[in-house]
Amino acid sequence: MRKLIGGQMGFINKDNKKFNLLKKQQIFCNGRSALYAILKKIKNKINRVYVPTYLCKSILQPIKEIGLNYKFYKIKNNFNYNLPIKKNSAVIFLNYFGNINKRYKFLKNNYKKNIFYIKDCTHDIFNKYHNINNFNKREIYKFASIRKYMPFSLGAITNLKSLKLNAPNKEEIKIFNRSYKNLFIRGKYFSYPLKTIDNSLEKKMLTEQSNFKIFENKNILNSRLPKHIERKLVKYNLKKNLKKRLDNYLFLKKELNCKINIISKTSSFPLYLTILLNQNNKKILKFLHKHRVFACNLWKLPKEVSKKKYKESHNLSKRLISLPVDHRYKKEDIKFMASILHKALKI
């Protein structure tokens, strides 16, 4: 049986070679904690946060946790939007699948006082234009959940400066260690063809997976990562794996039928290859999963985004599929993924 494609990455010791991406940034445990820190810093200067109607639900968590007033701005079919600009507010931008939005550039060039621009760079963190190191005078805050690019369940960065995070307490260290341990078992599990996996490994993996949920449910942690985990993250050989990611993306793009509408961009190292279907993605995803290709729907919109009022965003959510292209896959895996997708779409 062939190996699984997709799913959370695991960690294997040999991955751990030197590449120092993170030394300058504040390292948070996840994207929502990084956003939480930004919002906490500006909360006394704003009356409201504007959030896009196309978003993953974790963006709302820190806003709610702090108790900030928020309002949606509408994301249309092509990821464009009209943005109401009111003074004393913060606006969160997402750069969907590497699509740089012209209006965002416009806003950036027309900086107004008391409006705080917060850019979620998760989808294009390696794009020069949005480079996390380019913190500028215009009060643009940036953050990215980088854990999605690596076999780590922890890791996000911001351009916040001189922020003092608490050292993790005992309970938090326990959670961090748990989630860190989880990576190894996951790494082992996902790196073998399934037939070589014995029951005990499967059992261990499932137990770890449910323990890991403890961490996931904790969501926002307002503390530093423990040093030993931070060190591993900083040393991780991201560069090599990013190159493989881009190669896989380009290869998959070549393998896909030209009738498929690819909307993710290669201006950075794409997180996924994302396509926009002419039909609902539910059946297609089911078909892919049946063949052990774990493509995903980014995102199923949170209930706060009204289905009636924001039809265009829901329409996007129902039609997008994101295919994994990370370093775990060889050409044969990519070819297989393309062939299964063609079968599912009957093209």
Ligand X SMILES: Cc1ncc(COP(=O)(O)O)c(C=O)c1O
Report the interface residues with ligand X, using CB under 6 A: 30-32, 56, 58-59, 94, 120, 122-123, 145, 147, 156
In whole angstroms, how close is the CB of 250 to ligand X at the nearest point?
A: 22
Q: What is the dihedral of CA 201, 206, 210, 215, to 10 degrees?
A: 50
In whole angstroms, how close is the CB of 324 to ligand X at the nearest point?
A: 14
CB closer to ligand X out of 234 and 298: 298
CB closer to ligand X out of 27 and 94: 94
In whole angstroms, how close is the CB of 339 to ligand X at the nearest point?
A: 28
CB closer to ligand X out of 149 and 189: 149
In whole angstroms, how close is the CB of 147 to ligand X at the nearest point?
A: 6
Question: Do 27 and 147 meet the contact criterion of CB atoms below 8 Å apart?
Answer: no
CB closer to ligand X out of 59 and 107: 59
Q: Give every CB contact of residue 291 below 8 A, 6+ residues apart in sequence.
A: 340
In whole angstroms, how close is the CB of 346 to ligand X at the nearest point?
A: 30
**Burial of 286 per CB tally in 10 Å (0-12, 13-18, 19+):** exposed
DSSP 153-182: S--EEE---S--PBPP-HHHHHHHHHHHHH
In whole angstroms, how close is the CB of 195 to ligand X at the nearest point?
A: 32
Phi, psi of 166 (to 5 degrees): -70, 155
In terms of phi and psi (left: phi > 0; alpha: psi -120 to 50; beta: otherwise), the region of 207 is alpha
In whole angstroms, how close is the CB of 103 to ligand X at the nearest point?
A: 18
Question: Do 214 and 178 meet the contact criterion of CB atoms below 8 Å apart?
Answer: yes
Distance between CA 316 and CA 300 in Å, rounded?
A: 10
Q: If you ran DSSP here, which 8-state letter would residue 295 be given? A: -
Which residue sits closest to ligand X, CB atoms considered? 31
Q: Token pair of 133, please?
A: 């190191």
CB closer to ligand X out of 32 and 327: 32
**Burial of 70 per CB tally in 10 Å (0-12, 13-18, 19+):** middle
CB closer to ligand X out of 57 and 342: 57
Helices (H) then strands (E): counts for the chain: 10, 12
Nearest one of 68, 79, 74 to 39, comparing CA atoms: 68
CB closer to ligand X out of 57 and 335: 57
In whole angstroms, how close is the CB of 10 to ligand X at the nearest point?
A: 17
CB closer to ligand X out of 29 and 284: 29
Q: Give every CB contact of residue 234 below 8 A, 6+ residues apart in sequence.
A: 20, 21, 22, 23, 27
